Chains A and B, each alone.
Chain A
Amino acid sequence: MIEITKLSKSFLMHNQGAARIEVMRGADLSVGPGECVALTGASGAGKSTLMRLIYGNYLAGGGAIRVGGVDVARASPREIIALRRETLGYVSQFLRVVPRVPTREVVAEPLLVLGMPEAKALSRAEALLARLNLPAPLWSLSPTTFSGGEQQRVNIARGFVHPYPALLLDEPTASLDPVNREVVLDLIEAAKARGAAIVGIFHDAAARARVCGREVDVSAFAPVSA
């Protein structure tokens, strides 16, 4: 489902003395349906960079990133938008929303853009928010004022409301209490069971051991210094 071959990436800072920072060279990774792969490595090793490259958020320097038949490294913006709408979900660590939009609509949005009738999309969103133990009185409020753990659960609900065939999870259990951590791990296991290909970053070693079949150390993708 996710096939990365010979991926490289460097950043060129034009306004900071044209510094060129090479961060990745020759990265290969393959994730099949129903598989969850954990990215590991020290802070700054390039875990999030690799996730962002897969999502098309960072522009690949070279190589290929095939997700469900689309090469993200070469695709046009329109193809990436369609890929994100239908195939590739992403739970980031940060929630970015239009202010004033109620939580239930934030969560239902991925379904609404796919053309699902509003009532059905909202009821699915509410069911997922209930499962993640977000109190019902909060559903009609904008998540901008929520606590870190609450915002994270809204983000997770947004990422799981549509059954994406490929999912990227950036620290999905980072600021959650044990009960909600358990709910999220169950959601991940259910996604694997339905055949989703998942790439995740988990600092929580126990969570990683439970849901991930494989670990990939991204330090191996760092360019070898001469």
Chain B
Amino acid sequence: MTPLLSVSGLSKHYGAQIGCADVSFDLFPGEVMGIVGESGSGKSTLLSCLAGHLVPDSGAVIYDTRAEGPRDVITMSEPERRMLGRTDWAFVHQNPRDGLRMAVSAGGNVGERLMATGARHYGDIRAAAEDWLGRVEIDPRRIDDRPATFSGGMQQRLQIARNLVTGPRLVFMDEPTGGLDVSVQARLLDLLRGLVRQMGLSAVIVTHDLAVVRLLADRLMVMKGGFVVEAGLTDQVLDDPQHGYTQLLVSSVLQV
């Protein structure tokens, strides 16, 4: 099977400072990979390089495109990369305000992604938006309200609806449940798990919450100081950590 995403030797420096260094991994269709590590360990830098938001210093990010098979995202032309970002990829930001248009209605936020991929029939777009608001458990009567009137948890769910409406194959998530209260977090986890199963999508999830990765991710990468110090099956890395830093990370979690 061809990996959906194949990353090799990816490095990014900020001057003399290491962002992430020599990261390599393969992600297969239907797989969810978690990336954990303390803040400043390079998780978000790596995610931005993968999604084409940052240009890495070296390395390759090979994505298996629908039309032309495996292509290097980094050397791809900007319009091609933007097209991928609109159709095959989704990026869920940590702060929903970075991923939403705050001055446009909830329905408009969801519909915009559809229009960017060619949908023109207003009734169809509105129906799809209503359907997705329901799926992320937002009352469809709020379709004409602006996200600014939504709570933080609703904004995060709206951002997820906006991202998934075009049926992407790969979703990048930066702390998708950070800053949400635990009841909303549980609802989101359930939603994401269902979507991964039903739509067969692959995801790369950056988080510092080990409980979240245990429930969502098949595989786990642990980062420290820009380097991947350990990688493997999620429950194996959490239950039998090999690297000293992972052992510290796992043993530092407070039991509820």
Contact = CB atoms under 8 A, between A and B. Distances in A.
Interface in B201-231: 214-215, 218-219
Contacts of B145: none
A15 B248 contact: yes
A210 interface: no
Contacts of A13: 247
Contacts of B236: 56-59, 77
Given A15-B251, A113-B197, A59 B232 contact: yes
A12 B31 CA distance: 30
A98 B189 contact: yes
Interface stretch (B14-22, B119-127, B237-245): B237-245
Interface of A: 11-15, 52, 56-59, 77-78, 80-81, 96, 98-101, 112-113
Contact of A78 (B31, B189, B247): B31
Interface class of chain A by DSSP: loop
Interface of B: 28, 31, 186-187, 189-190, 193, 197, 214-215, 218-219, 232-233, 235-236, 239-240, 242-244, 247-248, 251
A77 B218 CA distance: 8
B201 to A, nearest CB: 14
A222 to B, nearest CB: 18
B232 A77 contact: yes
Contacts of A113: 197
A80 B243 CA distance: 21
Contacts of B218: 77-78, 81
B200 to A, nearest CB: 10
B244 A15 contact: yes
Nearest to B3: A78
Given A15-B248, A77-B233, A80-B233, A59 B219 contact: no
Given A58-B236, A78-B31, A14 B243 contact: yes
Contact of B247 (A15, A56, A96): A15
Given A81-B233, A100-B190, A113-B197, A59 B215 contact: no
